[in-house]
Structure 1
Amino acid sequence: MCKQVERFDVAIVGARCAGSPLAALLARRGLRVCLLDGARFPSETLSTHVIQPCGVAALRRLGVLDSLLAAGAVPLTRFTLVAEHARIDADLEHEAEAFGAPGLCVRRVTLDELLVRAAASAGAEVRTGEKVRNLVGKNGRVEGVETARGTLRAPLVVGADGRRSTVAALVGAPEYHVAPPGRLFAWAYFEGVSDREPRLRLGRLGDLAFLASPTDAGLYMAGVCPSLKDRASFLAERERRFAQGLCHWPELHGVLAGATRVGSIRVMASWHGYFRAAAGPGWALLGDAGHFKDPTPAQGISDALRQAERLADAVEAGLGGGAAIDAQLARWWRWRDQDAYEMHWFASDLGAAGRPGPLHVQVIRDLASDDNAAEKMLRVLNHELRPSELFTPRRLGRALARTIRQRPGEIPELASELRSAIRSELGRRRARRSRRAGFSVALNGGQSPQTGRPELSASGRRGGPRPRPPRPSV
């Protein structure tokens, strides 16, 4: 029996917070879109749950914000950042007005289902429970996907299928600016929390980091993040170690007093930060499929939503012909890397293993005493300000001088912190220069990710050579 062949303008693999928004945006512009995901919805996935105001604004433009609020998502109007004895507390009411939206903390079981519905309502063909087995193409260009049902032909295939992206594996998208993991992330939901203050809490105390916030359906999400060196022992006794971790921050322990945990402890213990080549002939990678950073500053959902909006513009402008779409995808890739580069390393530093160093703590103290600086910190998290525009050499120099003057006993630890920071910065600059030197707008680079019926499997193994997408500009 012959399998059917169907034709679309765009095939999107992955229907969560990157793929579904893109599908909705493209379908509303009159494109024929097929959205596929091996999962069925509602279903969970690993996530920090937090959506920055820039991401919430994208949800409003998409038309799903009211549904999220109706599901019990709490607008976050207060913010706390703790590093040892340094503390920033901020009221976000004014910032929410300035940003055009508040931050939110939403379970993915809620968010993703609403996004899938939005894609279907916009006119996209949504197929859940349908896995992509392979890609099809001709003359070096991806031209569709294969599933158990048959072949879907499309001049553009977008992989929005997360860190373990099938599409990224099949096209052989290389990684660069790789950042090693510092921590594992463990979280759970609680009901009966008496303190329903709409406050997002981020903390680093000793060797533990924390993330906590009210979320939808009347639940509270609390996360404990030990250094990765403790992975084996934490996983062996996760119930006990998680409970101990919550007690380590007295403020969070007080918030959860009398509350009851709902469900199991979720853990993300295996990950690393990276950029992947974001585009090639007939394909693109969106969201975590193309870039993943340390989850500590809670950027992933917002990044996916903003990237989807930009990619929708590029696709609409470029689908008139192969050369046009290649050029549009190259520009979008360049924007993505420039947009994410500094935040990528800022996230890696913020989520580093171990206790925060004396310079880190002093910088937080200085920010806490400067109202404008606290607002700038929130603007950094909202992608309105680059980290380097807040953590300037002058600000870091003042913090260094204060640490030496006020706490001379910490000078040996401070020296170690500085040596590590300098080594990291020099390595990052060398890597960035190397990427810039290798950038090319010619997306196929003379290589063929697929020829005819591609010799590719879901594992990414192939009979021929790996494709070599171009290097980006950062």
Structure 2
Amino acid sequence: MYDAIIVGARIAGSTTALLLAQRGYSILLLDRDRFPSSTLSTHLFFTDSLSAFERIGVLDRVLAIDAPRLKRLRFPYVDAPFAEVDGRDFALCIRREPLDAILVEAAGAHPEIELHTGARVTGLLREGERVIGVRYQEAGQEHEARARFVIGADGRHSLVAREVGATAYEDFPPMFAWYYGYFRGVPLDDPPSAFAVRGTYPEIGAEYAASFIFPCDDGLTLVGFGVQASAFDAFRRNHREHFFGGLARIPEAMERIGDSQLEGPIVGTGDLPNFLRVPVGPGWALVGDAGCHKDPHSVQGMGDAVRSAQLLVESLDRWWQGEIDEQTALAEYHARRDADVLPMFEFTTGQLEARFTEEEWKEFGRRTWEDPALARARVAAMAHAIPPAEVYSEQAIRRVLEGRGVGLSDSGPGQ
């Protein structure tokens, strides 16, 4: 009998496990994969993730990985430095093989955590409507385990979410299809930056395309190319040819890539739905992509994972310490999770833009380029160095359009 069983041991699961274990709770952590192993991910993360890694005791190991400290975000709609938080003013892009291995190893070394990799969860155990444990397969054997609480950290196709019937809301179909590969020999810009640029690819019916270039660990650079979801079928019929053909149509991207060499395969997907799921119920909760997933073009996934883990652990701890009851704890987590992710979710899915006329949204973009404080604030909000709603909300943008301003003072983050 454990305090919690966590399904999924990557960033959301390991962070949740370690935060709970630090408070003395007993954890069973299960993952079907063995580590190190890869997973589809743009794996760019910001100061919110770095602060979480510090809390769970792995930051020194993460910073020891040879990855450039990215000082600036250069996206089609903003160009500004990262804000400073806890003495750190940079983002990192680290492949999931070494990054997840650090997290899983730290979890496995904690005395309150029992880690099983290569363990596939096949179903949940219940007493009435309440989830009380899991069934899983390991080394050809069937097992059952019980806990006070079960947490799904098992991604957008979460088995836990499916088994409990977690309802999706704010549900939007895929927006883009993304493919990426690793290139060696891409020169760093100055300062080292996370770079993205727009384009088109009419040959496959894409009126919108984009490329991102994120310097990462081991001297590699993650290069991505994506098209609107309606062009996915045409894209994937020959994804390698279309990957390079699409990049060739974006001069800024090709100039950065130059004569660098692709190492390994080009991988990707168009299976990128946008949703929030009800993240709690009797005996269960969801963290990370299991509870909220959105297109990666706004680069929120890893930060969402660690922040949702922190929010859930705080509410569970208050319940288990007797400060509040279970119903209050779960409602608290649900409300705080939504408040945390909704501003960037609405920006990512275009809901925020839809509240303005085309002319108003263009004016917001124009002012972003003209006002360095506004640009810094937009980057700080994307990195959750400030609450995103301070910038990515209808009220905040209307203040900008009315000339009342929004952004960071000269003494604020990013200076």
Report the TM range for the smaller structure's normalisation. 0.7 to 0.9
**Counterpart position of 1:74:** 68
- Report deviation, 1:186: 1.1
Rounded to whole Å, the distance in 1 between the matches of 2:151 and 2:399 is 43
Q: 2:133 matched to 1:128?
A: no
The CA distance in 1 between the partners of 2:133 and 2:239, in whole Å, is: 43
Aligned to 1:214: 215
Is the contact made by 1:56 and 1:302 (CA closer than 8 Å) also made in structure 2?
no
Task: State whether structure 2 residue 46 is matched by structure 1 residue 90.
Answer: no
Normalised TM-score (structure 2): 0.86
Whether 2:100 is the aligned partner of 1:112: answer yes
Q: Higher strand share goes to which structure?
A: 2
Cα distance between partner residues in 1 of 2:119 and 2:13? 14
Q: Which whole-Å deviations, capped at 9, do the CAs of 1:414-458 have from their partners, x for residues lacking one?
A: xxxxxxxxxxxxxxxxxxxxxxxxxxxxxxxxxxxxxxxxxxxxx
In the alignment, the residues of structure 1 paired with residue 375 and residue 87 of structure 2 have an alpha-carbon distance, to the nearest angstrom, of 15
Describe how 1:366-445 pairs up with structure 2 within 5 A: 366-383=367-384, 384=386, 385-386=388-389, 387-388=392-393, 392-396=397-401
Alignment counterpart, residue 153 of structure 2, candidates 153, 160, 168: 160
Matched residue type, 2:127: K
Task: Verify the 8 A CA contact 1:24 1:120 in the aligned structure 2.
Answer: no
Offset of residue 170 of structure 1: 0.6
Mapped to 2, the partners of 1:269 and 1:32 lie a distance apart of 38
Question: C-alpha distance in 1, partners of 2:279/2:154?
Answer: 13
SS of the residue 1:181 aligns to: coil
Please state whether the residue corresponding to 2:298 is helix, strand or coil.
Answer: coil
Cα distance change of structure 1 residues 351 and 230 upon mapping to structure 2, 3 Å threshold = farther
Deviations 1:26-68 (A, max 9, x none): 1122111010011111111121211122122111222222212
Aligned equivalents of 1:100, 1:74: Cα separation in 2: 13
Is the CA contact (8 Å cut-off) linking 1:96 and 1:103 kept in structure 2?
A: no
Give 1 or 2 for the bigger CA radius of gyration: 1
Aligned 8 A contact 1:376 1:390 in 2: no
Q: Could you tell which deviates more after superposition, 152-161 or 173-182?
A: 173-182
Which residue in the other structure is 1:458 paired with? Answer: none
1:251 corresponds to = 252
Instruction: Determine the structure 2 residue equivalent to 1:340.
Output: 341
Distance 1:321 1:142 in 2: 20
Distance 1:239 1:265 in 2: 7
Q: Which 5+ residue runs of structure 1 have no aligned equivalent?
A: 1-6, 399-474
- Alignment check: 8 A CA contact 2:10 2:104 kept: yes
Matching of residues 431-470 of structure 1 within 5 Å: none
**1:28 pairs with 2:22:** yes
Matched, 1:56 2:46: no
Bigger mean CA deviation after superposition, 384-393 or 213-222: 384-393
The number of aligned residues is 382
**Quick one: which amino acid aligns to residue 302 of structure 1?**
G
Please name the residue that 1:150 is paired with: 143
Q: Deviations over 1:241-296 (max 9, x none)?
A: 11122223222212211111111111121121111111111100111101112211
Distance (whole Å) between structure 2 residues aligned to residue 72 and residue 390 of structure 1:
41
Q: Which runs of 4+ in 1 moved over 4 A?
A: 97-101, 320-323, 357-362
Answering whether residue 181 of structure 2 is matched by residue 188 of structure 1, we say yes
Per the alignment, residue 170 of structure 1 pairs with 163
Closer, same or farther: CA 342–89 of 1 in aligned 2, 3 Å = closer
For residues 261 and 204 of structure 1, what CA distance do their matches in structure 2 show?
Answer: 21
Deviation per CA, 1:219-247: give whole Å up to 9, x if none. Answer: 10011111111111111121121112222
The answer to whether 1:224 aligns with 2:232 is no
Residues 317 and 325 in structure 1, CA contact (< 8 A), matched pair in contact too: no
Identity of aligned residues (%): 35
Q: TM-score, normalised to structure 1's length?
A: 0.76
Q: Structure 2: how far apart are the matches of 1:252 and 1:287? A: 31
In 2, Cα distance between equivalents of 1:89 and 1:204: 14
CA distance in 2, matches of 1:390, 1:99: 30
Contact 1:22 1:312 (8 Å CA) reproduced: yes
Post-superposition offset of 1:320: 5.4
Q: Which amino acid aligns with 1:130?
A: A
SS at match of 1:270: coil
Contact preservation (8 Å) 2:149, 2:284: yes
Q: Aligned match of 1:139 in 128, 145, 156?
A: 128
1:285-338 alpha-carbon deviations (Å, 9 max, x no partner):
111101112211101100110111121122222235798233212211111012
Relative distance call for 1:296 and 1:310 in structure 2 (3 A) is same
RMSD, aligned α-carbons: 2.3
Q: Counterpart amino acid of 2:163? A: L
The residue identity in structure 2 corresponding to 1:110 is P
Aligned AA (1:205)? G
CA contact (8 A) 1:177 1:274 kept: yes
Q: What corresponds to 2:408 in structure 1?
A: none
Q: Which amino acid aligns with 2:118?
A: G
Any conservation in 2 of the 1:377–1:390 contact (CA below 8 Å)? no
Cα deviations by residue, 1:100-146 (Å, 9 ceiling, x for unpaired): 45211121122111111111122211101101111112132111111
Is contact 2:81-2:379 (8 Å) kept? no
Match of 2:41 among 43, 47, 54: 47
Relative to 1, partners in 2 of residues 1:60 and 1:390: Cα closer, same or farther, differing over 3 Å?
A: farther
Amino acid at match of 1:254: E
| Matched position secondary structure for 2:144 | strand
Q: Which amino acid aligns with 1:307?
A: S
